[in-house]
Amino acid sequence: MADEKKPVETTGHQWDDDEGYPLKEYNNPLPKWWLYTFYATIVWAVIYWVFFPAWPTLSGFTKGTLGWSQYKQLDEEIATAKAAQKPFDDQLAKMSLKEISQDPRLLQYAISGGKAVFGDNCAPCHGSGGIGAKGFPTLVDDDWLYGGSLAAIHETIDSGRTGAMPAHLEAHDGSFNTAQVENLTDYVLSLSNQPHDAAQAFKGKALFNGEAGCNGCHGDLGNGSLKGTMEGEALEASVGAPNLTDGIWLYGGSRKAINQSIAKGRNGKMPAWGSGFEGFGRKLDPLSIKEVSLYVHTLSGGSF
């Protein structure tokens, strides 16, 4: 067929010509636009070699006349962002939490900064938006372990907290037997009006406010170290013993979970992010801690 048309330039390479119709390799020129684009890329490459880091040498590499590097670019971007934030950041650094909370414009800036800090550092434990998870307290309600004032929240984040709920069962180095721990469990169940064995709970109550000394941390009424009292005296708020009467549980409110809490103890650890930093987690600068404190305060609907 090709033979009938105008002859085309071939490479001269032929196969299979037994039947008189040899297979030939055409030598069509490349489309012009393609060819020139190809030449342009070669020229571009040469220009690039001059301006940007390119070729390895025996002792390093050619750095390019622009002196560009990925690392310098990163440093510049960070510097630009810092400079843009500086007017705000300088003001925030000087002001107390209370003062910031009274300046709507700065407050909004701080809260959006705090939200980013929270997403990167806190959300994995406290859930996105602070909804919490088993062992990691929710921050969206008004039930606090250590206090929901701006100052208390700031201190929690800056210095960290460790819940010290001792183990009580003998098998876990406590000083009570299985039956006594059962009695305590029934009493704790009764505090939040859950189904329980009244006779056992009665014995549990005596232990709670007596030999076991639970009231020293959870208060005579079991309503926690923030609200509770022991024999009329306020408790040490920094203990962080939860309110056991409100049906909000850190480790679960089932019989089994409560029993485990009492038998084995619990030691939830909130890392320190500021002055109390102990190499665990990531250290945040004072400004980020302020911002995230304000953000956490808004989560629980706290008004300023």
Partner 1 sequence: MKHDTIEKSIPLMSILVVLVISIGGLVEIVPLFYLDSVIEKVEGMRPYTPLELKGRDIYLREGCYNCHSQMIRPFRDETERYGHYSLAAESQYDHPFQWGSKRTGPDLARVGGKYSSLWHQEHMRRPRNLVPESVMPNYPWLEKNSLDYADIAKRMEVMQTIGVPYSASMIQNAVADLEAQAIPDSESDALLERYGDKVVLDDFDGDAKRITELDALVAYLQMLGTLVDFSAYTAQER
What minimum distance in Å lies between the beta carbon of 246 and ligand HEC? Answer: 9
* Total residues in contact with ligand HEC, by rule CB under 6 A: 51
What minimum distance in Å lies between the beta carbon of 174 and ligand HEC? Answer: 9
The 3-state secondary structure of 64-102 reads: CCCCCCHHHHHHHHHHHHHHHHHHHHHHHHHCCHHHHHC
Pick the binder of ligand HEC from 111, 165, 235, 272 (CB under 6 A): 165
> What are the C-alpha distances in Å from 138 to residues 44, 76, 99?
57, 39, 27
Binding site for partner 1 (CB under 8 A): 11, 13, 55-56, 59-61, 69-71, 73-74, 77-78, 81, 120-121, 124-125, 127-128, 133-136, 268-269, 271, 279-282
Residue closer to ligand HEC by CB (options 53, 170) is: 170
Does residue 245 belong to the site contacting ligand HEC (CB under 6 A)?
no
169 forms beta bridges with 176
Does residue 268 belong to the site contacting ligand HEC (CB under 6 A)?
yes
Neighbour-count burial for 250-288, b at 16+ CB within 10 Å, e otherwise: bbebebeebbbbbbbbbebebbbbbeebeeebeebeebb
Interhelix angle 255-264/178-191, rounded to 10 degrees, is 130
Q: How far is it, in rounded angstroms, from Cα 210 to Cα 203?
A: 10
φ, ψ of residue 265 in degrees (nearest 5):
80, 170
Residue closer to ligand HEC by CB (options 109, 249) is: 249
Q: Which of the stretches 5-13, 45-53, 99-107, 256-264 binds ligand HEC when contact is defined by CB under 6 A? A: 256-264
- Which spans of this chain sit near ligand HEC (rule: CB under 6 A)? 118, 121-122, 124-126, 135-137, 139, 144-146, 153, 156-157, 161, 163-166, 168, 184, 188, 208, 212-214, 216-218, 239-242, 244, 249-251, 258, 261-262, 266-271, 273, 292, 296
